[in-house]
């Protein structure tokens, strides 16, 4: 049984009115007690799951042509998105300048054919689609966190703080999470010590004793994405309790090329979040991710809403 942290339930201010529009409006919600993995699921732990269950991830399977009408069959082979930094400055308006769909890239080969996860055993597993994360959670007798649960755990007991550790990004000049330093996407100075993912617990835990909620890898939640949070409750008595967006209606990408794939909320930012591009290394930050799109900067952790076995 991997270590889990107890998160005391209660009401908190979810979201933010100070940053990206999808984080607004800030609103109070209430969440019951739960337990959350202290670390994101690592390569070593995911390997135990695969060996014990025979599971094959989405990135390792060819896609069903019926689900992707009009898409060339060459694009339906097993593949995943890999961050590939350009050698020179590029406009940050087109993510295709630094992301490549790499055939053969998966959790086993994080950078594509010829790469290996050797030496990355304690790093978060990546290239996991939503269904892969959910399959692991069910195998482990757990679940994926709701967006509200994830955000409450990430805040570490701090009410409305900017970051998981307070209001200063690098207190005393110390990096508190694995994020991007330098000009994105071509220059990574790695002042925090890491160019890509980092081993679990490379940075201090938050107030709940939970590690890597910010930076390193984005993490899946069970909520479908919506363009904004719901309006705040008018009466204190009506604060939503254990909110969960189970309706995919508003989650679809308006781009017709997206083929009507639902999107879930991912949280926490990653090692690719930079001050000049993606300031989403905060508990309130959220982003939409198509459920069929694994990538080299997305992982997950699990929760349980019942007391876990003694550790």
Tokens for 139, please give them: 């195998």
Instruction: Please give the Cα distance from 203 to 219 (Å, whole number).
Output: 17
How far is C-alpha 275 from the geometric centre of its chain's CA atoms? 18
Q: How many CB atoms lie within 10 A of CB 236?
A: 8
Instruction: Please give the Cα distance from 270 to 216 (Å, whole number).
Output: 4
What Å distances lie between residue 160 and 73, 91, 144, CA to CA? Answer: 48, 33, 24
Contact predicate 39/268, CB 8 Å: no
Q: Is residue 89 classed exposed, middle or buried when 0-12, 13-18 and 19+ CB atoms within 10 A define those classes?
A: exposed
Q: Over the stretch 215-252, which tens digit does the pLDDT of each residue have? A: 999 999 999 999 999 988 766 677 999 999 999 999 99
Q: Which residues contact 255 (CB under 8 A, 6 or more apart)?
A: none
Instruction: Please give the Cα distance from 213 to 164 (Å, whole number).
Output: 8
Instruction: Give the 3-state secondary structure of residue 39.
Output: coil
Instruction: Please give the Cα distance from 139 to 133 (Å, whole number).
Output: 10
Is 3.40.50.10800 the CATH number for 4-64+76-304? no
Whole-number pLDDT of residue 152: 98
Whole-number pLDDT of residue 74: 75
For helices 43-53 and 130-139, what crossing angle results, to 10°?
70
Whole-number pLDDT of residue 311: 60
Contact predicate 291/253, CB 8 Å: no
Instruction: Please give the Cα distance from 70 to 65 (Å, whole number).
Output: 8
Contact predicate 181/192, CB 8 Å: yes
Instruction: Give the 3-state secondary structure of residue 103.
Output: strand
Q: Over the stretch 50-67, which tens digit does the pLDDT of each residue have? A: 999 999 999 999 888 887
Residue in 183, 181, 153 with CA at minimum distance from that of residue 40? 153
Q: Which residues contact 265 (CB under 8 A, 6 or more apart)?
A: 147, 221, 223, 224, 225, 245, 286, 287, 288, 289
> b vs e for 210-230, b when ≥16 Cβ sit within 10 Å of the residue's Cβ?
bbbbbbbbbbbbbbbbbeebe
Whole-number pLDDT of residue 200: 97
| Number of residues written out for the chain | 311
| pLDDT tens for the chain, residues 1 to 311 | 579 999 999 999 999 999 999 999 999 999 999 999 999 999 999 999 999 999 999 999 988 888 788 778 777 899 999 999 999 999 999 999 999 999 999 999 999 999 999 999 999 999 999 999 999 999 999 999 999 999 999 999 999 999 999 999 999 999 999 999 999 999 999 999 999 999 999 999 999 999 999 999 999 999 999 999 998 876 667 799 999 999 999 999 988 777 789 999 999 999 999 999 999 999 999 999 999 999 999 999 999 998 886 66
């Amino acid at each position: 049984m991997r270590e889990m942290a107890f998160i005391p339930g209660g009401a908190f201010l979810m979201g933010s009115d100070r940053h990206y529009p999808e984080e607004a409006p800030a609103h109070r919600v209430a969440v019951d007690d739960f337990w959350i993995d202290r670390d994101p699921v690592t390569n070593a732990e995911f390997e135990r799951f695969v060996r014990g269950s025979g599971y094959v991830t989405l990135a390792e399977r060819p896609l069903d042509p019926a689900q992707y009408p009009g898409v060339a069959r060459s694009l339906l082979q097993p593949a995943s998105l890999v961050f590939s930094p350009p050698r020179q400055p590029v406009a940050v308006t087109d993510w295709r300048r630094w992301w490549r769909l790499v055939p053969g890239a998966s959790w086993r080969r994080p950078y594509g054919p010829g790469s290996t996860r050797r030496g990355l055993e304690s790093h978060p597993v990546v290239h996991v689609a939503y269904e892969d994360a959910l399959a692991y959670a069910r195998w482990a007798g757990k679940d994926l966190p709701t967006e509200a649960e994830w955000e409450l755990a990430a805040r570490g007991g701090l009410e409305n703080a900017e970051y998981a550790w307070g209001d200063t990004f690098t207190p005393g000049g110390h990096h508190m999470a694995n994020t991007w330093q330098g000009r994105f996407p071509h220059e990574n100075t790695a002042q925090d010590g890491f160019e890509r993912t980092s081993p679990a617990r490379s940075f201090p835990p938050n107030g709940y004793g939970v590690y890597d909620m910010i930076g390193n890898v984005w993490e899946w939640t069970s909520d479908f994405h919506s363009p904004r949070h719901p309006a705040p409750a008018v009466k204190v008595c009506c604060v939503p309790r254990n909110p969960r967006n189970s309706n995919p209606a508003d989650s679809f990408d308006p781009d017709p090329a997206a083929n009507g794939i639902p999107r879930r909320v991912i949280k926490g930012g990653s090692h690719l979040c930079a001050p000049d591009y993606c300031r989403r290394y905060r508990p309130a930050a959220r982003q939409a991710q198509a459920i069929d799109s694994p990538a080299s900067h997305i992982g997950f952790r699990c929760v349980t809403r019942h007391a876990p076995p003694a550790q």
